[in-house]
């Protein structure tokens, strides 16, 4: 974490603020007081929010586990970043456009609109978010149809190593399993359906105790559900999965643990009041939030030593 003197709403030394910290991706500010810490979640769309950052603890054996989708359960981040790149190329009218490596922490783990707004601000400031969203969903609709027909990018969705063995072990131990993603329904469900097909595990809707996505996309001519302004790193997806989907009372949050590979996801789990296991391979360290993880593992099977 990097120490700063002033954030959008707070300043060190004023109103009881002892210190302000921000991670490398600057997506949040942590405001430290003598008796509490607040987290300001910034917004590329103009709607920041402030939440308490509670102290978290975990006591095994776990009663419920909250699993991230992209990067944790299914390897797909490179595909979705490719879609963002292709969207930007269309917006620019340059088919040979390629993003820079430094863009990765800002176009993974957040909402589609946040990703697109970042690319617009950096590469095409005269572009419109509405136009970018249209290009994005046109690309997604085509690619999803191709993949579900067995065509398209064959390496788009790959189950994480040991995913089947890990999930079946959780089931055998009677641990509730929630799947949580910032992805919109139309992009998230083909991922896990594809992964379960490859593993011979049937319908994921029947397997998981709860699946929460960022909702349906709002597009012309159809309704949408609230999701673009409240995804990770906001706490609501994880909070809803645990409290509503898995019926875990807030008072028993010490028996719940979240698993993430993205910086935004780590913050989301912590703001929801749960301990977090960070899985190597994502952008946790690149985002600069590694110190918020309560545990770190190199693979899924290592998690069992923590939660059982």
pLDDT in tens, 2-41: 999 999 999 999 999 999 999 999 999 999 999 999 999 9
pLDDT at 264: 93
- Spatial distance between the Cα atoms of 96 and 140, rounded to a whole number of angstroms: 19
97/189 same-domain check: no
Beta-bridged to residue 278, according to DSSP, are 260, 296
If you ran DSSP here, which 8-state letter would residue 70 be given?
A: B
Give the range of the structural domain holding residue 127, as residue numbers without chain letter: 77-148
pLDDT at 120: 96
- pTM for the full predicted model: 0.86
33/132 same-domain check: no
pLDDT tens for 97-124 read: 999 999 988 888 677 888 999 999 999 9
Backbone angles phi, psi at 67, to 5 degrees: -105, 125
Residue 154 located in a structural domain: no
172/262 same-domain check: yes
94/68 same-domain check: no
Listed in sequence order, the residues at least 6 apart from 253 whose beta carbon sits closer than 8 Å to its beta carbon are 56, 242, 273, 274
pLDDT tens for 151-161 read: 767 668 899 99
| Residue ranges of the chain whose pLDDT lies below 50 | none
- Spatial distance between the Cα atoms of 279 and 302, rounded to a whole number of angstroms: 10
- Spatial distance between the Cα atoms of 258 and 267, rounded to a whole number of angstroms: 11
* Burial letters 289-306, b for 16+ CB under 10 A, else e: bbebbbbebeebebbeeb
**Dihedral angle, C-alpha 215, 175, 53, 30, nearest 10 °:** -70
């Amino acid at each position: 974490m990097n120490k700063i003197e002033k954030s959008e709403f707070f300043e060190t030394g004023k109103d009881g603020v002892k210190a302000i910290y921000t991670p490398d991706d600057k997506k949040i500010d942590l405001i430290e007081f003598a008796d509490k810490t607040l987290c300001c979640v910034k917004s590329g769309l103009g709607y920041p929010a402030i939440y308490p950052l509670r102290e978290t603890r975990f006591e095994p054996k776990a009663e419920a586990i909250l699993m991230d989708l992209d990067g944790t359960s299914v390897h797909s981040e490179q595909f979705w970043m490719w879609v963002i790149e292709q969207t930007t190329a269309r917006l620019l009218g340059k088919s040979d456009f390629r993003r820079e490596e430094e863009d990765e922490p800002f176009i993974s783990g957040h909402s589609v609109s946040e990703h697109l707004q970042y690319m617009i601000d950096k590469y095409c400031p005269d572009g419109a978010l509405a136009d970018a969203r249209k290009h994005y969903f046109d690309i997604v609709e085509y690619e999803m149809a191709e993949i579900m027909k067995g065509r398209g990018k064959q390496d788009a969705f790959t189950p994480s190593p040991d995913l089947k063995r890990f999930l079946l072990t959780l089931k055998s131990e009677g641990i509730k399993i929630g799947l949580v993603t910032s992805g919109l329904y139309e992009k998230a469900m083909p991922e896990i359906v594809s992964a379960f097909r490859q593993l011979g595990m049937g319908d994921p809707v029947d397997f998981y105790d709860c699946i929460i996505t960022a909702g349906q996309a709002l597009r012309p001519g159809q309704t949408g559900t609230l999701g673009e302004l409240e995804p990770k790193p906001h706490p609501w997806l994880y909070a809803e999965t645990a409290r509503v989907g898995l019926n875990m009372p807030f008072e028993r949050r010490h028996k719940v643990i979240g698993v993430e590979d993205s910086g935004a996801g780590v913050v989301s789990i912590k703001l929801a009041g749960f301990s977090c296991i960070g899985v190597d391979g994502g952008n946790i360290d690149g985002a600069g939030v590694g110190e918020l993880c309560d545990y770190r593992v190199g693979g899924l099977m290592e998690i069992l030593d923590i939660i059982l």
